[in-house]
A and B are shown apart, each in its own frame.
Chain A
C-alpha cells in the first residue's frame, strides 16, 4: 500500500500541486488523467524524489517519510521501492538492452551478476525482445526502447511502477505494442500509477481513474463511474474532447 498525504509543490510562484491525498492499494492500477500543466507528471516525479515536494508525506512499504525533510538515505529507500517508465524512455545510451535492465539490480540492489542477467533475459522475453538483448538504444525503435524501459522497471520488483506518459512520444503505429506490454504487466498484479492520454486504454486497464487539474483531484472513481457517470462539469468538458 502506498499513501501520499497533502502533497504540495511549487516552482517559484507557480503552484503545481496543491495538497493532494492519494491512497493506492496493493495490486491496484490507477490511471491519472488531466490537461497538460495540471501537475500529473510532477506528482509522479515527486513520489520518487526526482522533484522535491514542498510539503506532504509518503508511506510506502516500511518507509514513511516527509517529503521536505527526507535525507538521502530515506530518498534512496523510497526509490528502491519504486520504478519509473519515462515519456522519452531514457534508456542509458551507452548500455545495451540487457545492461540497461540489470544496472539497477547489480549496482543498487547488489544482486549477483549471473542472477541479474538471468532475470534480465527473462524480462526481455516477457516484453518480446529476447533477440535484442545486445542492441543499443539507438538501434531500437521507440516502441522497443519503451518496452526495454518497462523491463528495466519490472526488474526492480518495486512496490509500484510509475508510468509517465509512456506512449506520448511514440509513433501512432508503435503505441499498440507498448500498451499491450503494459496490460500484460498489469495482469500480473503489479501496482501501477499511469499518467496517459490514451482514453480507451485507461478505460480498459484501470481499477481507478483520477482526473486532476491545477494540482488537485477533481474527480475519481472506477472507469465506468468516471467515463459514463461523470459528475463534475470540468471532467465532462475534458472527456468530451476525446470522445469520437
Chain B
C-alpha cells in the first residue's frame, strides 16, 4: 500500500485553512454552555421550585441523545420553522441565507449545556455546607455568598472536567459536515475528492485534532501547576 506523504501534507494545509471554524465550534459552545450550564446547576442546587424539575428533565433528555441527532434535528426543525416565521413576519430572508454554522453552534451548545450543568452541579455539591454557613454568619448576602465563596471554589474543582468537555466538543465538531458546514475534516475530504486519497486526508486531520487537543491539555496542565504553586508560595 502506498502512502502519499506529499498529499497528506497538502491535505493538512487545506484542512488547517478551516481550523478557525473548528476552534469556533469548540469554544463558543463551551462559553455559552458554561454560562447556561452554571445557571442550571445553581437552579438545581438551590432547588428553585418548578425550574429545578424542568431543568432536571432537560438535562436528562439531552444527556441521552447523541450529538449527531441533536445536530440533525436542530437543522430540520430550524429549516422548517424559519421560513414559516420569516413568511409570517413578511421578512424577505429565507433559510438558505442563514449561515449554517450558527445551527451547528446551537446544537453543540445544547450538548455542552447538559454536560457542563452536571459538571458544575457536582462541583457545587462537593463544597461543604459549612462554607455557606460561615459566609452567611459574617453577614454576606446570598448573592455575595455565591459570588465570593461558592463560585471561586467551584471553578478550580470543575476545571479538569470543563477541559474534558472542550476536547469532546472539538471532536464532536467533526460531525458538522452533516449540516453542510466545512470544518477541518470536511476541508481535507474535499481536497481528497479529487484523487481519492482519503486515507492520507484522514491521517492528516487526525494529526491536527491531536495537535489541538494536546495544546489544550498543555495549557490547562500549565494553569493547574501555576495555581498550585502560587498557592504554595504564599505559605508564611
By a beta-carbon cutoff of 8 Å, the part of chain A in contact with chain B is: 45, 48-50, 72, 76, 79-80, 82-84, 86, 88, 90-94, 96, 103-104, 107-109, 131-136, 139, 152, 156
Whether B133 lies near A108 (C-beta < 8 A) is no
Q: List 8 A-B contacts (CB under 8 A).
A: A72-B141, A88-B130, A92-B149, A96-B234, A103-B135, A104-B138, A135-B234, A135-B235
- B77 → A minimal CB distance (Å): 42
Whether A108 lies near B144 (C-beta < 8 A) is yes
Whether B139 lies near A90 (C-beta < 8 A) is no
5 closest Cβ contacts across the A-B interface? A104-B138, A108-B139, A90-B130, A90-B134, A84-B137
Complex alpha-carbon distance, A85 and B138, angstroms: 10
Whether A107 lies near B133 (C-beta < 8 A) is no
Q: CB < 8 Å: which of B137, B149, B152, B153 contacts A48? A: B137
User: What 0/1 pattern do residues 95 to 139 of B give for CB contact below 8 A with A?
Assistant: 000000000000000000000000000000000101101111111
- A65 → B minimal CB distance (Å): 16
Whether A80 lies near B139 (C-beta < 8 A) is yes
Whether A82 lies near B137 (C-beta < 8 A) is yes
Complex alpha-carbon distance, A156 and B130, angstroms: 19
Q: Which of B149-180 contact A (CB under 8 A)?
A: 149, 152-153, 156
Counting CB contacts under 8 A, is B231 at the interface?
yes
Whether B133 lies near A92 (C-beta < 8 A) is no
**What A residues does B135 contact at CB under 8 A?**
92, 103
- A5 → B minimal CB distance (Å): 22
- A35 → B minimal CB distance (Å): 23
Q: CB < 8 Å: which of A86, A104, A136 contacts B130? A: A86
Whether A92 lies near B134 (C-beta < 8 A) is yes
**What A residues does B130 contact at CB under 8 A?**
86, 88, 90
**What A residues does B17 contact at CB under 8 A?**
none
**What A residues does B148 contact at CB under 8 A?**
103, 107
Counting CB contacts under 8 A, is B236 at the interface?
yes
Counting CB contacts under 8 A, is B190 at the interface?
no
By a beta-carbon cutoff of 8 Å, the part of chain B in contact with chain A is: 128, 130-131, 133-142, 144, 148-149, 152-153, 156, 231, 234-236
**What A residues does B131 contact at CB under 8 A?**
90, 92-93
- A9 → B minimal CB distance (Å): 16
Q: CB < 8 Å: which of B128, B136, B156 contacts A79? A: B136
**What B residues does A103 contact at CB under 8 A?**
135, 138, 140, 148
Extra A-B contacts (9), CB below 8 Å, given A83-B138, A139-B235: A45-B133, A90-B130, A92-B131, A92-B134, A93-B153, A108-B144, A136-B234, A139-B236, A156-B138
A49 nearest CB neighbor, chain B only? B136
Whether A91 lies near B234 (C-beta < 8 A) is no
**What A residues does B231 contact at CB under 8 A?**
136
A80 nearest CB neighbor, chain B only? B139
Whether A104 lies near B136 (C-beta < 8 A) is no
Whether A131 lies near B134 (C-beta < 8 A) is no
- B42 → A minimal CB distance (Å): 18
Whether B133 lies near A156 (C-beta < 8 A) is no
Whether B134 lies near A91 (C-beta < 8 A) is yes
Among B128, B153, B236, which residue has the most Cβ atoms of chain A within 10 A? B236
Among A45, A72, A88, which residue has the most Cβ atoms of chain B within 10 A? A88
Complex alpha-carbon distance, A67 and B153, angstroms: 31
Q: CB < 8 Å: which of A49, A83, A134 contacts B236? A: A134
**What B residues does A92 contact at CB under 8 A?**
131, 134-135, 149
Complex alpha-carbon distance, A241 and B153, angstroms: 42
Whether B236 lies near A133 (C-beta < 8 A) is yes
Whether B133 lies near A90 (C-beta < 8 A) is yes
Complex alpha-carbon distance, A140 and B50, angstroms: 43
Contact flag A108-B137 (CB < 8 Å), given A92-B131, A93-B131, A135-B236 = no
Complex alpha-carbon distance, A220 and B58, angstroms: 56
Complex alpha-carbon distance, A175 and B114, angstroms: 47
Q: CB < 8 Å: which of B128, B136, B138, B236 contacts A152? A: B138
